[in-house]
Amino acid sequence: MTPIVYLIIAIAAFLLLYYVVPWTAGAYLRYRGKMLVTCPETRKPAAVSVDVAHAVLTAGLGKPDLRLSSCSRWPEREGCGQECLDQIEVAPQACMLRTIVSDFYKGKSCVYCGRRFEDIEWRSHKPSLMNPGGATIQWDQVRPEALPGVLATHSPVCWNCHVTQTFCREHPDLVIFDRRKAAGAQRR
């Protein structure tokens, strides 16, 4: 190949890396994962996923074209107009489940140990919730579309207390409660 061909390839690669990759990577980061929107039809929460592959491909050409890949109201309402995408276009971060959950924990403390929540560790020790009956639950037990109602009625619990409470609930015959230690803690 001639030097001119190498130059053209180098310019094309530079343009691709400088212009296309940041737009497509940004689209991927903005629209990945489950999102929570208010269904325009029912005015109730709906869990949706954006077709990220389509958004990334169209972002390379300019503005990403959004469409849903899943919705908690499907298959019954699969033919809807997808007007909920307007909410995602305006504020994609605010619709992400992780953002909603992180905002819930921000500034709160565990109801058992009082440990204040800082940054949430999503890969391993995820915080939990205590339901009105006193049992702790993990996030995979909550349907995304039910999240607003759950956050209104449940209390924050750290990972360590969730593990402890779950063990005590599931194996009460193996737990010994030291009443002297508890009485000393109450006097302080």
Would the pLDDT of 58 be above 50?
A: yes
Q: What is the overall mean pLDDT for the chain?
A: 83
User: What is the per-residue DSSP string for 37-95?
Assistant: EE-TTTSSEEEEEE-HHHHHHHHTTSS----EEEETTTTTTTTS--TTHHHHHH-HHHH
Q: What is the amino acid identity at position 117?
A: F
Residue 110, classed as helix, strand or coil, is coil
In terms of Cα–Cα distance, which of 167, 52, 43, 30 is closest to 99?
A: 30
Specify the pLDDT at position 19. Answer: 65
Specify the pLDDT at position 54. Answer: 84
Average pLDDT over residues 97-103: 89
Work out the pLDDT band at 17, boundaries 50, 70, 90: low
In terms of Cα–Cα distance, which of 110, 119, 118, 103 is closest to 159?
A: 110
Specify the pLDDT at position 153. Answer: 94
User: Greater confidence, 26 or 16?
Assistant: 26
Work out the pLDDT band at 187, boundaries 50, 70, 90: very low
The answer to whether residues 159 and 127 touch, using CB atoms and an 8 Å cutoff, is: yes
CA 8 to mean position of chain CA atoms: 43
Name which of 1-5, 68-72, 175-179 the model is least confident about. Answer: 175-179
Name which of 1-5, 20-24, 86-90, 132-136 the model is least confident about. Answer: 20-24
Specify the pLDDT at position 124. Answer: 79
